[in-house]
Amino acid sequence: MSTNNHCESARCHIAVRVPTAKANDMVSSVLSALHGKTFDSTDTIYILDDNERLQGLVTLPHLLTAGRELTLKEIMITDPPAAGPEDDQEHVASLAIRHGITSVPVVDSEKRFLGAVPSNSIFQILRREHIEDMNRLVGIMNGNNRAINALEASPVKRLKSRLPWLLIGLLGSMVATFVVSRFEHTLQTQISIAFFIPAIVYLADAVGTQTEAVAVRGLSLSHSPVVNLLAGEFVTGLLIGLSLCLLIFPFVYLIFADINLAFAVSAAVLAAGTMATTIGLLFPLLFSKLGMDPALGSGPLATIFQDVLSLLVYFFIVTKIVI
């Protein structure tokens, strides 16, 4: 089994020494054959035909509890999920989770059995993918995506891994500053409008970050239609925004005694929450459809759009209601 930490295909995680048997083998004979042999993984017995094609599988717990006089054909899982040797490691882990199996068989284009990605490799894949996604979500473009290197590398290497997305974030902050400057007259007319800019931006970022964290990992596991995913997040954002705006309305009104300002801030919060969840899903989804890592479409990039759109909506509303 390969231990190449930089390889991300199923081929690099294959264990070739795994138990195999024929469909007509008796449970008793298979159990006897396991004694005295060493395997890379023993949690699953793979059923092959005479041409080494995968027919099914039997988990070891199922085998141990099955009647000794039964054949594997009677207890095996037929047409099991399988990965190709060049499939991405995240797809392999997704198969294991989706189908509730601890090891994933790997077959070639003719369904000939090549081996299996065992459970310990699947755990390692999930851990690596999690670290990689978290690094990218916070804008760390680490070459080998290892958290330890991102933490213990030289300051220059840390700078190189963190700075690129932050430069994009700097550009986004300049755009946001430009947006605010275009409403200078509005701010001069009623300075209390400015008090809520940090709150609007923060809430949009917080709501968006929640969605991004769920989307980056969930997109590799979900098979729901895109329209359903977007509609679900839109409604979720609407409910979140509605809840927050109902809480903030009485606070603004009691403090500033201005019902128009309270309506404006509440409406902006509602819009920010709705937009943030949609953007938080839309960007990872778009990158995923383009064959790129969904995490690249999250974090700093999505934050820029959330901030700028939230500010535009806020100032549009206050100019219509308050001024």
Cα(63)–Cα(223) distance, rounded to whole angstroms?
A: 31
Q: Inform me whether the pLDDT recorded for 145 exceeds 50.
A: no
Confidence band for 147, pLDDT divided at 50, 70 and 90: very low
pLDDT score of 94: 84
Residue ranges per structural domain of the chain = 10-121, 166-321
Task: Find out whether 25 and 72 touch, Cβ atoms under 8 Å.
Answer: yes
Strand boundaries in the chain, DSSP class E: 20-21, 44-48, 54-59, 77-78, 104-107, 113-117
Q: Is the pLDDT of residue 158 over 80?
A: no
What is the model's pLDDT at position 296? Answer: 58
In this structure, what token pair is assigned to residue 305?
């759009």
46: region left, alpha or beta (phi > 0 left; psi from -120 to 50 alpha): beta
pLDDT at residue 3 in the model: 44
Helix boundaries (H) for 3-118: 27-34, 60-65, 72-75, 89-99
> Which of 37-41, 199-203, 240-244, 292-296 is predicted least confidently?
292-296
pLDDT in tens, 46-87: 999 999 999 999 999 999 999 999 999 999 999 889 999 998
Q: What is the pLDDT of residue 252?
A: 92
- Note the pLDDT of residue 19: 93
pLDDT at 8: 78
Write the DSSP symbol of residue 299. T
Mean pLDDT of the 143-149 span = 48
Assign domain 166-321 to its CATH architecture: Orthogonal Bundle (1.10)
Provide the strand spans (E) within 60-191: 77-78, 104-107, 113-117
Fold of 10-121: CBS-domain (3.10.580)
The predicted-structure confidence for 291-302, as pLDDT tens digits, reads as follows 666 655 566 777
210-to-103, 160, 237, 277 alpha-carbon distances in Å: 31, 27, 11, 8
Contact of 149 with 142, CB cutoff 8 Å: yes
Evaluate if residue 153 carries a pLDDT over 80: no
For the segment 2-26, the average pLDDT, to the nearest whole number, is 82
